[in-house]
Structure 1
């Protein structure tokens, strides 16, 4: 059966936006997307994290359900996201449910019966469940009665082998196009380069879909990338100076490092929790719930954490290890500042990061074409880290977007624009490093690691250098003018560009490659940024845990306004606990701040405050007025 779509007017969609969600206007391309999909069009939506992707399918789902076209199926791999979005829709008065592994058999059966009765507007499910024969039979029944209104495939980059989070089960979603002809489909993602976009279109058969590509710029996020020198202490200084009492996420590559860093932060008086796959599932759930429901928690985690986390007030995301590619970096940093308020993305990187990432690619069982693509993505990320120009320009250029009016543009919200680094020509140092590796191999038939190669070039007579007779090499002491930090920067570039290979099976020793020749001949220039030391602290030292008492409002409030704001946040926390939901699902901070500023005395005074829809006005207005008056 093919559903005959009625014309759903722009006025109807605006009314849902205001009545259900409490917003007066659509943002960016939301209106065009919502109108296109509500009236039966297929869509590919690329919109940054925090840009309002959820409304792009929730509003059409409500509109089409009201028009008698049945349920919208939202496909997501993320249990946490399902729970939060269903909870938020319930708060807004929308009938929504999820089907996932957290439900008992009886609970799932009851939801399936409600689905068949037409009682549900939005149903969330994982791709594995959607392609299960039993579930497909349910969809068949709905389709035969014209009661399938929409398929929304969230995190659509998971379908692509070129994406940063490939999940093979997404490939089976082609069944939706083949089996349910005429049901509109939309694929949504926050992160996809040209290669990934093309793969999404091909794999999900969206060749005829209209593409809506928003700007990838997150102007509220300040990007800072530093060379590692006692990385954990650098992180600690960053949090203490810039983010006392703030919620944040710190990403580490290994489970052990997650636990060590979390403990270091706790010892420094910061409320930090670890999260990785090696922890008991109940512990992980408790930690995730605390992060979502409490204020000022710093989650130290592997990249398994964060995808689908809707928490809007994460003020910083820090990377203590370099990600694999720019897509991953962009996706993870995008978890900061979803509320549009100032946020920070901080990353420390070093030679060992490049060595580790390059080794993982080289040792991968994948085909050479795929490895080459991964190397290119790693090179692009290293280029971002080593960049001396605007980081935001570099980041957006990777996604095919131009920012500013050409070379020299400054965004004034990244470290390079605010503190332009000095540049030096590392070509001579690169040639001397390569010559040293070559001469070591020629003289002893052996390979050595980065530290030993740099010691020879800088003329250090260590026991190892002397023992192997490497003081006799023609390059011994030839690079005495270079610091170890400078040479490590040069080696990072050489490894990233493939001019030096790292042999993991031989204790991370270095060897030359075919690409070495071009550098040795002077055909390739190696330009690097001067190392910038961490600036001195602007703040005096603070006692451990002092940040927990800080009240920070997202807009300027006077003293009485801050008192009202604090009282509203305390009330919201109680309501959230009663409903077993994150606090931001009840009201966002920006909504509470607007209430605190207006100091409403009547129901009419609450009208028009962004984020207060009809259901929330009915449910909470009297309590809000009481809290404001008491405050």
Structure 2
């Protein structure tokens, strides 16, 4: 009976004919009163896993969400579906909060969103004890992991939910978690009895591309102008200064770009986030302070112009592209300076040795993904403990890189670093090492007399770019390290000895020539979603209608209907309310609210044809 009720709600409220993947099993587990730990990729339908049980079970589903700025949009989307939803957070005045509390106590809410900081207050705990709770949903559950990329200390207090309400089922959800992080979630949230549901981490619609940095701002501009003109996208940077500089540069090139970082005022961040969600074609340039919980389905690209610190962070951030299942791009530009900077940040970290080792392991996994000559997706999924064959939809599959025996080249680099230290007591950075190897008579080389070293000029056979690639890969493999007592200078490691002695062979990734990179970029552009010409015109008319409705209602356009639903309407051209109700994503509430208007748009388009 509960399973049938859940199916009816899925169809009537959300407009979907059937559950996907593990959704049915998860819903059954929670409806039956059991706990669940859910790992599902972004865009995989995690929210349905707690929204439907909240509508089936008696009481109100309490959703713990770390993002106050997004609660309004999440609640707006539910209200559009006819679901009784509200939130409690610091943006409300006391009268608004009091009305939400009254509605909760009166049993007039299906779902109540609360930030963890608010939830753990005495007032909120006392409120919940006076009402009836259907379930607790802990969204973005990876925030409980102190080793993770989005750690929120408030999440550590959420184990009290089990202690105070042992009979209320809990569902913890995240899109990103290794087996180790899953163990932390179970331990810290007291989910020992929870059933685990781990979906595939694969997002086949995303095309992964990692390129070598070479004037990264221009590379980014080329990506946007040639492949994603007019598309919504996110550009991630490591520093606030880089965010501001990149956003300003894109604006000068005619791209609607907005900055977002923790140094901006709350009002500015809120305004920029609202514009990104509500307007078409906005590019958000941001630090990792932006993005968690973003529900915008039509983000067509996510670009990183600095290397992420971990594979988890990279996966979480790239997962914000293509939530609608349509083709999207995950693009990363990375270079030697990224490796040097990340190594130095770890060495200078204030954490203890265990913390630094953990950071180093995360960095090495990220470097392995960047430097692999195998399928990117295979490597990415393997990090999360899942196996897959070559995907055919990443740069290494579409343009397989070559590998070469770089043992001799590596010995030359390591010898140069060794001789500078042993013979002169000096350490230098990557640029100076390359100048010595290539026999470049710079002012600095002459000043220190490095043109008299035996290694001076022994690497004239390789270009500067090729040598930087060798150095980057030696750092990635731990054969060189950054001397944290200096300023990005290079030093040998214990592992260097085997290479210098010829006891270890090194196969390196060969850097492609610029022309080959240009060709690869053209050929690797994701296929756009194609509609027949007559359907494309109707789709654009429907989007214009949706945009007007969204503006009038003060909500993002996707809250009214997703692009995928409008495309299906444009293709099927339903002629009646009943026909329209069969389109995926058109539930009963939206059919009642917008059905006649949509049919009018279709009739007008037919009369103009």
Common fold by TM > 0.5 = yes
Q: Tell whether the 8 Å contact from 2:206 to 2:328 is kept in structure 1 after alignment.
A: yes
Aligned-pair distance for 1:499? 3.0
Provide the rounded CA distance (Å) in 2 between the counterparts of 1:419 and 1:554. Answer: 23
Provide the rounded CA distance (Å) in 1 between the counterparts of 2:369 and 2:407. Answer: 19
Paired position in structure 2 for 1:512: 492
1:148–1:538 CA distance, 2 compared to 1 (3 A):
closer
Deviations 1:515-553 (A, max 9, x none): 3323323444432222123315999xxxxxxxxxxxx99
Deviations 1:475-497 (A, max 9, x none): 21222222222222222233233
TM-score by length of 1: 0.92
Task: In structure 2, list runs of 5 or more residues that go unmatched.
Answer: none
Provide the rounded CA distance (Å) in 1 between the counterparts of 2:14 and 2:93. Answer: 31
Q: Tell whether the 8 Å contact from 1:554 to 1:589 is kept in structure 2 after alignment.
A: no
Paired position in structure 1 for 2:601: 627
Which residue of 514, 533, 541 maps to 1:558? Answer: 533
Paired position in structure 2 for 1:618: 592
Aligned-pair distance for 1:248? 0.8
Q: How many residues align?
A: 598
Instruction: Tell me whether 1:595 sits opposite 2:595 in the alignment.
Output: no
1:321–1:516 CA distance, 2 compared to 1 (3 A):
same
Paired position in structure 1 for 2:580: 606
Provide the rounded CA distance (Å) in 1 between the counterparts of 2:584 and 2:365. Answer: 40
Which residue of 111, 134, 138 maps to 2:123? Answer: 134
Q: Tell whether the 8 Å contact from 2:208 to 2:395 is kept in structure 1 after alignment.
A: yes
Instruction: Tell me whether 1:61 sits opposite 2:46 in the alignment.
Output: no
Paired position in structure 2 for 1:110: 99
Aligned-pair distance for 1:354? 0.9
Instruction: Tell me whether 1:10 sits opposite 2:3 in the alignment.
Output: yes
Q: Tell whether the 8 Å contact from 2:341 to 2:488 is kept in structure 1 after alignment.
A: no
Which residue of 348, 364, 369 maps to 2:354? Answer: 369
Provide the rounded CA distance (Å) in 1 between the counterparts of 2:195 and 2:502. Answer: 48
**Matches of residues 46-125 of structure 1 in structure 2 within 5 Å?**
46-64=39-57, 69-125=58-114
Aligned-pair distance for 1:312? 0.3
Provide the rounded CA distance (Å) in 2 between the counterparts of 1:84 and 1:398. Answer: 33
Instruction: Tell me whether 1:448 sits opposite 2:423 in the alignment.
Output: no
Q: Which segment is superposed worse, 279-288 or 514-523?
A: 514-523
Classify the secondary structure of the residue corresponding to 2:184: helix
Provide the rounded CA distance (Å) in 2 between the counterparts of 1:131 and 1:237. Answer: 47
Q: Please report the RMSD computed on the Cα atoms of aligned residues, expressed in angstroms.
A: 1.7
Provide the rounded CA distance (Å) in 2 between the counterparts of 1:423 and 1:491. Answer: 15
Aligned-pair distance for 1:34? 0.7
Paired position in structure 2 for 1:169: 154
Provide the rounded CA distance (Å) in 2 between the counterparts of 1:553 and 1:223. Answer: 16
Aligned-pair distance for 1:555? 5.3
Q: Tell whether the 8 Å contact from 1:555 to 1:590 is kept in structure 2 after alignment.
A: no
Classify the secondary structure of the residue corresponding to 1:192: coil
Paired position in structure 2 for 1:577: 551
Paired position in structure 2 for 1:221: 206
1:273–1:442 CA distance, 2 compared to 1 (3 A):
same
Deviations 1:448-482 (A, max 9, x none): 11111111122222111111111222221222222
Provide the rounded CA distance (Å) in 2 between the counterparts of 1:525 and 1:226. Answer: 25
Paired position in structure 2 for 1:399: 384
Provide the rounded CA distance (Å) in 1 between the counterparts of 2:143 and 2:521. Answer: 42
Q: Which segment is superposed worse, 486-495 or 73-82?
A: 486-495
Q: Which segment is superposed worse, 259-268 or 338-347?
A: 259-268
Classify the secondary structure of the residue corresponding to 2:518: coil
Classify the secondary structure of the residue corresponding to 1:519: helix
Provide the rounded CA distance (Å) in 2 between the counterparts of 1:538 and 1:301. Answer: 24
Classify the secondary structure of the residue corresponding to 1:217: coil
Q: Tell whether the 8 Å contact from 1:70 to 1:121 is kept in structure 2 after alignment.
A: yes
Deviations 1:333-360 (A, max 9, x none): 0000000001110100001111111111
Deviations 1:138-160 (A, max 9, x none): 12223xxxx11101101001101
Q: Which segment is superposed worse, 231-240 or 266-275?
A: 266-275
Q: Tell whether the 8 Å contact from 1:241 to 1:538 is kept in structure 2 after alignment.
A: no
Provide the rounded CA distance (Å) in 2 between the counterparts of 1:300 and 1:630. Answer: 40
Paired position in structure 1 for 2:397: 417
Instruction: Tell me whether 1:182 sits opposite 2:156 in the alignment.
Output: no
Provide the rounded CA distance (Å) in 2 between the counterparts of 1:195 and 1:599. Answer: 49
Deviations 1:567-626 (A, max 9, x none): 211111111112211100100011111112222332122121011101111111111111
Provide the rounded CA distance (Å) in 1 between the counterparts of 2:504 and 2:289. Answer: 38
TM-score by length of 2: 0.95
Provide the rounded CA distance (Å) in 2 between the counterparts of 1:291 and 1:517. Answer: 52
Q: Tell whether the 8 Å contact from 1:554 to 1:593 is kept in structure 2 after alignment.
A: no
Paired position in structure 2 for 1:148: 133
Q: Tell whether the 8 Å contact from 2:62 to 2:136 is kept in structure 1 after alignment.
A: yes
Which residue of 334, 339, 344 maps to 1:349? Answer: 334
Which residue of 490, 511, 523 maps to 2:470? Answer: 490
Provide the rounded CA distance (Å) in 1 between the counterparts of 2:504 and 2:589. Answer: 64
Which residue of 226, 230, 233 maps to 2:218? Answer: 233
Which residue of 257, 261, 279 maps to 1:272? Answer: 257
Aligned-pair distance for 1:421? 1.1
Classify the secondary structure of the residue corresponding to 1:181: coil
**Matches of residues 181-220 of structure 1 in structure 2 within 5 Å?**
181-220=166-205
Q: Which segment is superposed worse, 101-110 or 220-229?
A: 101-110
